[in-house]
Amino acid sequence: MARVTTPPIDPLLRDRRSPSVFDPTHTLDDSQLASLLEAARWSPSWGNTQPWRFLVGRRGDASHARIVAALSRGNRQWAPAASAILIGLRQVGAEPDDPKGGLRTYDYTAYDLGQSAAHLSVQAVSMGLAVHQFGGFDHDAIAAGFAVPPQWEVLSGIAVGRWLPSAERTTDSPDVDQANVEREERPRKRRPLDQLAFAERFGEPLRVGHGE
Amino acid sequence: MARVTTPPIDPLLRDRRSPSVFDPTHTLDDSQLASLLEAARWSPSWGNTQPWRFLVGRRGDASHARIVAALSRGNRQWAPAASAILIGLRQVGAEPDDPKGGLRTYDYTAYDLGQSAAHLSVQAVSMGLAVHQFGGFDHDAIAAGFAVPPQWEVLSGIAVGRWLPSAERTTDSPDVDQANVEREERPRKRRPLDQLAFAERFGEPLRVGHGE
């Protein structure tokens, strides 16, 4: 999946992508899963509040089955083949036993969960794995099924596994849906830098010699 | 800043930290700034909506001066010495000219801005630089000063620069505030993994052989 970006960026970021075809035979062992979570754990957060938690299911276990049952129809096509699916939660209220009565603000808790998931994703790339995040699942069913307390909001789905390269796919494999193959092969697109970074005023392109 | 984590994680994540003492003589050239933003640009987002924008000030320019003027008293002690300060914005409403009438949901825009800032931070580490993010600044003053339209919310501050190692600091330097030195030298702490990742139900530690 190597590619070139101009300007250059680190290969871990450059080669990261969100695959839709995972290797349905790959499994994550304890030490791999621990490293992924350790990366999430050391992510920065507002005032070091660490307002993130993760529900974790590995293919074959009860948590995984419960997560798969809550997936949207589209995500049920590809996500179960990943080795694990995590659900990211963000804090939205005080813990009942918190003497401080909760955080001073919850404005940064989704932001910080996003950072934590990003660190997990970069760690996955460094281990030869890939992450595909998604929002399409029954959030209420997850909250009920895992007894998530009301001060935690179910936010994101995070599928982790080994990308299945085209050469290893068989056309009659039930795990390789053609729509997912096409989705993967679409060129990755992003808004150009000069529509993203501004100086002086919103909308005024920052000049760094790489406007497109 | 090398350290060890158990379980092991990639050095770019392991050695990342949020310094409070930046080298006040270091500057970011166009190509470095472009690479930082390129990393932010290739971050994933919900439905590839890319709901992030950045206002960018480099030390010495007008945008930087306007950002510095809006900093909280605490952040004014250390952030101006960084080579650049970026302000992260997230989308909260439809663009006036959007034929689709905006995003289907804004629930993921803070999360995705956080991911984008995290990718920028990892890129900074890979370039020998460091990022310290913060929330303490006058968000309304930034929105007014940069004419940020109402469909974009001013959310985070992102200082980028070169960490100034202790050996290079002089005790009489006006740029090295003792409180910031102490803040930096505090050991980094995080909630243990078994209070962070759950299986079966919220609060039930995931067993991956690394509970602390």
- CA-to-CA dists, residue B161 to A98, A136, B33, B184, angstroms: 36, 38, 10, 15
In angstroms, how far is CA A47 from the centroid of its own chain?
Answer: 23
CB-based contact, B70 to chain A, within 8 Å: no
Other C-beta atoms lying within 10 Å of the C-beta of residue A125: 20
A90-140 pLDDT per residue, tens: 999 999 999 999 999 999 999 999 999 999 999 999 999 999 999 999 999
Q: Do A9 and B53 touch (CB under 8 A)?
A: no
> What average pLDDT does this structure show over B189-202?
96
Nearest by CB to residue B34, choosing from A119, A152, A210, is A210
Residue % of chain A over a pLDDT of 70: 94
Other C-beta atoms lying within 10 Å of the C-beta of residue B140: 11
HSE toward the beta carbon, residue A182, CA cutoff 13 A: 3
B128–chain A nearest CA distance, Å: 12
A110-120 pLDDT per residue, tens: 999 999 999 99
CB-based contact, B123 to chain A, within 8 Å: yes
Banded pLDDT at B166 (limits 50, 70, 90): confident
Query: What integer pLDDT is reported at residue B188 of this predicted model?
Result: 87
Chain A residues 142-201 with CB within 8 Å of chain B: 146-149, 152, 155-156, 188-191, 193, 196-201
Question: What interface predicted TM-score (ipTM) does this complex get?
Answer: 0.95
Is the pTM higher than 0.90? The answer reads: yes
Q: Which residues pair with B197 in a beta bridge?
A: A54
**Exposed / middle / buried, residue A93 (Cβ in 10 Å: 0-12, 13-18, 19+):** middle
- The structural domains of chain A, ordered by start, are 11-165+183-195 (3.40.109.10)
HSE toward the beta carbon, residue A210, CA cutoff 13 A: 22
B37-76 pLDDT per residue, tens: 999 999 999 999 999 999 999 999 999 999 999 999 999 9
CB-based contact, A42 to chain B, within 8 Å: yes
